[in-house]
A and B are shown apart, each in its own frame.
Chain A
Amino acid sequence: MPPALATTDDLRPKATPPKPRPWWRSLLGAQESGLILVILFMMLALTLGGGTKPQRTIFPLAPGDTFTSTLVSGTSDTYTLAITRADGSTQNLQSSSRPREAGASDGTRSLSITRQVNAFLDPANLILVLKDASFIAVIAVGMTAVIILGGIDLSVGSIYALAAICGAVLLNAMQGQLVAATPTLPAHRSGWMPDASVFLAVPLGLMVCTLVGGLCGLANGSMVVGLRVHPFVITLGMMAALRGVTILIPKELMGEQSVGGFPPSYQDGFFRADIAGVQPVPIFFMLIVALVGWFILSRTVFGRRTYAIGGNETAARYAGVPVGRVKILVYTIVGALAGLSGAMYIGYFGAAETGAGGGYELQVIAATVIGGASLSGGRGTAIGAILGAILVRLIDSGMVILRIPQDYNQIVMGAAIILAVVVDQAKSGLSKGKRG
C-alpha cells in the first residue's frame, strides 16, 4: 500500500507548547518581587539578629495561694518554681527569669513566669507588625489608585480622623452613659441602643465611617475636576478644613476632644476579638482590601482607565475615557478607604481623638511609593501598597527588636524610602532599555 501523501498541516512546523515558567521565576518576574525579597531578607535578618526575648505566662493567684522559687544551680537565670494552691495542691514550673507577682491596681494577684523565644519570629510579634500596618495599608491601596492617576491626596489623615470621630459619636450615642440605679429603675445605660449586637453595631459603625470618608473624597474629586485646580492644593485645603471640623464636632456636641464608650460588641466583640491568642481582625480587612484593590486595578475596565489616565491623560481623553468621572470615583474610593481605616481604628483602640491621623498622609504616600507607585502616574499596584506599608512597619518594629535608639528611627526610615525608590527607578530604567 503506497504511503499516504503528506498534508499541508504535516508540512507546517510543529508548534511546541510553551514551557511553563517555574514558580520561582514567576515570583521574581512580578512587579513586587523586589519588595517581597527585601521583606523576606529583612525578616531573616531580624530573626537572626534580633536575639531572644522573654515570653511571659501569667498564672492567676487566688487568695491563699503561695509560691517558692529556687535558682537552678549552675545557671544565672533559670528558676524552678512551686505554686502551692489554697487547696493544698502543688504545681511545679520552670522560668527563665526570677518569677514575680505582676502588679495591678485592682488588687488581683498573678504570677509571671518567662521562657525565652525568638524576638522577631514570635507569632504575636508578626501579627502586631501586620496589624499596625493595616491602618496605613488600607488607605495606601486607595492612594495608589490616586497616584496612578497622577494625582495626590493630602487630606487622608484628616478624613481618617473625621470619619473616626463621626463613627465614635454614633457608637457613643448608641451605648450612652451608665445611669445609676434609682428606687424605681435598675442601673442602665442612657443610649438609644445600649449593648447592641455585633450584627448591628459593626455594620452601622463601618457604614457611617466609610460614608463620611467617601463624601469627603467625593468633595475632593469634584473640586479637583470641577475647579481644575491641582489636587495638591485642593487636598491641602481640605486637610486643614476637615481637621477643623473634626475638632469642632466633639467639642460642640460633648465638650470633649476624644470620644469613647462604644458597645462592647464593636470593640471586644469584633475588631479586638481574640483569635488563638492574637487580635487579627484589622489584618483581615487589609487582606480583603488588597484583594479587591488588586482585582479592580488589574482586571476591570475602570482599573485600566485609571492607568490610561495616569499614563497620558490627553490620549486617554481622545480615546473616549471619561476622565473626570474616573478621577472623581478614584478620590471617592480613597476617601472611603480612609473612612474604613478610621472605623478599624476606633474598633481596635476603643476611642477616637481629634488629633488622630496627624501625619498619616506622609506615611501613606511613603508606603505607596515604596510599594512601587510612580509619582508621575501610570504605575503602581494594590499589592505593592500593602507590601510598602508592611515594610514601613517592619522597619519600625526592627528598631525595637534590635534595640536601636529611637533617634535613628527617622534616618533609617528616610534612607529606606529613598533606597526603595532609587532601586525601583533603576528597575524601570532597565525595563525601558529593553523595550527600546
Chain B
Amino acid sequence: MNSGRRNFLNFSLGAGLLTLATLLAACGNNTAPTNTPGSTGGNNNTGGARPRYQIGIIAKSSSNPVFLAARQGAMDAGRALGAEMNCDVEVIWKTPNSEDAQAQAQYVEQLSSQGVDGIAISCTDANVVTPAINDAVENGVTVVTFDSDASESRRMAYYGVDDHAAGAKVMELLAAQLNGEGVVAVLAGNQAAPNLQARVAGVQEEAAKHDAISIIDVYYHGETASEAAAKMQQVQTANPQITGWALVGGWPLYTNNALDGIHEHAKVVSMDPLELPLNYMIAGQVQALVGQPYYDWGYESVRLILNKVHNDIAPASPRVTVAPDVVDTPAAAEALKGRWSQWLSGASEATGG
C-alpha cells in the first residue's frame, strides 16, 4: 500500500476523531454546573465562597419510567435545594440502559474518581455494588441508596418504602374491596427478586388476618408485560373461582387489555401507579394502586446528600422509610397521571416534591 496515502488516511482519521472529541468537549460543560438534560445546575455564580457540589445518580435502568421520575426529582432537588442552601449543585445522571449491576459498580467507581461529592444509587444487586460503594465512601464520597438498598455497605442512608409494608397494603386494600371474603391469586414476577419476595410475604401475612380470604397460589412469570398478562389470563381461565388479584408489581398493566375476561369476575389491586396502570383504574378495571415515592427517590436522596456535605447533618436513622402511596379513586388517578406527564417530559415540579 502507498505509505504516503495510508499515513494521510491515518492522520485524517485521527484529526476527524479529534474534531469529534473537541466538539464533545465544547458540548459538555466542564467548568460550571449546567442545565442540560443530563445535569442540573444551580446558580452559576461562582464568586465569593459559594460552594459547589456534584451528585451522581445511578438508577437501575434508564428505560424504566419510575427511574425517569426519580431523575426529574433529583434535577429539581438540585435546583431548589441549591437555591435554598445557597450552593451550586450539579446532578449527573449515570444509569445503565438496562439492569446491569456490574455497570452500576463501574459507574460508582467512575463518578468517585471524578471527584463527585455524593452518589445516590438504586442497587440492582447489592452484593456486586457493595465493594464499589465502600471504596467510594473511603474516598470521601457520601453515598445514599434509594428504592433498593445495599444494607451491608457503608452507605450513609437508604430512602424508600418498606417492601413488606407495601405488599401488606396491597392485600389490605384488596380485602376491603372483597368485603373480607374471596379467593385471591398473587401475581409475583421474578421468584428470585428479594424485594418482590418481601412484598409477597406482606400480602400473605395480611391475608392471614382475614379468615374468609384464601390465597389460591402465588404465580411467578417473566417480568414482561406480555408474559404477565398471559399468566393472568391462563390462571383466571383455569380457576374461575378467583375473585381477587393482588399484583406485587404492575407488569401486566403496561398493556392495554390485560384484564379482559378478568375484571368482570375479580377485583384487582396492584403496585406501581404508572401512566398505563392508571388508565385501568380510570376505566374501573383496577380498584386501587399502591405506589412508591418515585419522584422523591431522586429528590430526597439529593436532599440527604446535600444535608450531609453542605450542612454536615446525617439522618437520624440510616433507613429513611416512607409509607407507600395509595391511589384509590379515579380522581386521584387522573391527578397522578398529570404528574407522570410532567415527570416523563422532563418538566420540573413547581412544588419541588
Size of the chain B interface, CB-CB below 8 angstroms: 86
By beta carbon, the residue of chain A nearest B304 is A103
By beta carbon, the residue of chain A nearest B191 is A251
Is B92 part of the contact surface with A, judged by Cβ < 8 Å? yes
Is A29 part of the contact surface with B, judged by Cβ < 8 Å? yes
Is A91 part of the contact surface with B, judged by Cβ < 8 Å? no
The 8 Å CB contact of A400, one of B26, B49, B111, B157, is B111
Query: What is the CA–CA distance of A345 and B93 in the complex, to the nearest angstrom?
Result: 24
Known pairs A56-B140, A353-B125, A355-B99; list 17 more (Cβ under 8 Å): A25-B3, A41-B14, A50-B30, A71-B49, A77-B52, A102-B141, A112-B140, A257-B194, A260-B128, A349-B131, A350-B130, A354-B192, A358-B99, A401-B114, A403-B92, A404-B24, A404-B27
The 8 Å CB contact of A98, one of B24, B51, B141, B308, is B51
The 8 Å CB contact of A45, one of B3, B18, B190, B318, is B18
Which residues of the partner chain B approach A419 to less than 8 Å between Cβ atoms? 16-17, 20
Contact A351 B127 (CB under 8 A): yes
Q: Which residue among A50, A259, A402 has the maximum number of chain B CB atoms within 10 Å of its CB? A: A402
The 8 Å CB contact of B140, one of A98, A102, A357, is A102
Contact A132 B137 (CB under 8 A): no
Is A175 part of the contact surface with B, judged by Cβ < 8 Å? no
Is A195 part of the contact surface with B, judged by Cβ < 8 Å? no
Interface of chain A residues 267 through 287 with chain B (CB within 8 A): 267, 272
Is A230 part of the contact surface with B, judged by Cβ < 8 Å? no
Residues of A at under 8 Å CB distance from B?
25, 28-29, 33-34, 37-38, 40-42, 44-46, 48-51, 53-56, 58, 71, 76-77, 97-98, 100-106, 110, 112, 114, 119, 122, 124-125, 128, 132, 135, 247, 250-251, 255-260, 267, 272, 345, 349-359, 397-408, 410, 412, 415-416, 419, 423, 426-427, 430-431, 434-435
Query: What is the CA–CA distance of A435 and B1 in the complex, to the nearest angstrom?
Result: 7
Contact B137 A351 (CB under 8 A): no
Query: What is the CA–CA distance of A245 and B346 in the complex, to the nearest angstrom?
Result: 40
Which residues of the partner chain B approach A345 to less than 8 Å between Cβ atoms? 102
CB distance from A124 to the nearest CB of B (A): 6
Contact B154 A431 (CB under 8 A): no
Query: What is the CA–CA distance of A214 and B193 in the complex, to the nearest angstrom?
Result: 30
The 8 Å CB contact of B30, one of A256, A402, A426, A427, is A402
Is B212 part of the contact surface with A, judged by Cβ < 8 Å? no
Query: What is the CA–CA distance of A187 and B137 in the complex, to the nearest angstrom?
Result: 29
Contact B48 A76 (CB under 8 A): yes
Is B322 part of the contact surface with A, judged by Cβ < 8 Å? no
Cβ contacts A to B, 30 pairs, < 8 Å: A33-B10, A34-B14, A40-B14, A41-B17, A41-B21, A46-B25, A55-B115, A97-B52, A98-B49, A103-B137, A104-B137, A128-B110, A247-B192, A257-B190, A259-B127, A260-B130, A345-B102, A349-B101, A349-B128, A356-B128, A398-B24, A401-B114, A402-B27, A402-B30, A403-B30, A406-B38, A412-B20, A415-B20, A426-B9, A430-B5
Per-position binary interface string of chain B over residues 39-74, scored 1 when its CB falls under 8 Å from any chain A CB and 0 otherwise: 100000011111110000000001000000000000
CB distance from B259 to the nearest CB of A (A): 29
Q: A29 and B25 in contact (CB under 8 A), knowing A76-B48, A132-B106, A403-B39?
A: no
Which residues of the partner chain B approach A58 to less than 8 Å between Cβ atoms? 138-140
Contact A56 B14 (CB under 8 A): no
Is B31 part of the contact surface with A, judged by Cβ < 8 Å? yes
Is B236 part of the contact surface with A, judged by Cβ < 8 Å? no
Query: What is the CA–CA distance of A250 and B194 in the complex, to the nearest angstrom?
Result: 14
Interface of chain B residues 134 through 159 with chain A (CB within 8 A): 137-142, 154-157
Query: What is the CA–CA distance of A103 and B119 in the complex, to the nearest angstrom?
Result: 12
Contact B308 A103 (CB under 8 A): yes
Query: What is the CA–CA distance of A352 and B46 in the complex, to the nearest angstrom?
Result: 44
Which residues of the partner chain B approach A400 to less than 8 Å between Cβ atoms? 92, 94, 110-111, 114
Query: What is the CA–CA distance of A115 and B288 in the complex, to the nearest angstrom?
Result: 54
Is B264 part of the contact surface with A, judged by Cβ < 8 Å? no
The 8 Å CB contact of B128, one of A48, A350, A397, A410, is A350
Contact A37 B14 (CB under 8 A): yes
Q: A103 and B142 in contact (CB under 8 A), knowing A38-B17, A55-B115, A345-B102?
A: yes
Contact B98 A359 (CB under 8 A): yes
Contact B93 A405 (CB under 8 A): yes
Which residues of the partner chain B approach A44 to less than 8 Å between Cβ atoms? 18
Contact A34 B154 (CB under 8 A): no
What are the 5 tightest A-B residue pairs by CB atom distance, in nearest-first order?
A405-B38, A49-B25, A351-B127, A402-B28, A45-B21
Q: A50 and B3 in contact (CB under 8 A), knowing A100-B312, A105-B155?
A: no
Q: Which residue among A410, A415, A427 has the maximum number of chain B CB atoms within 10 Å of its CB? A: A427
Contact A349 B102 (CB under 8 A): yes
The 8 Å CB contact of B9, one of A34, A258, A408, is A34
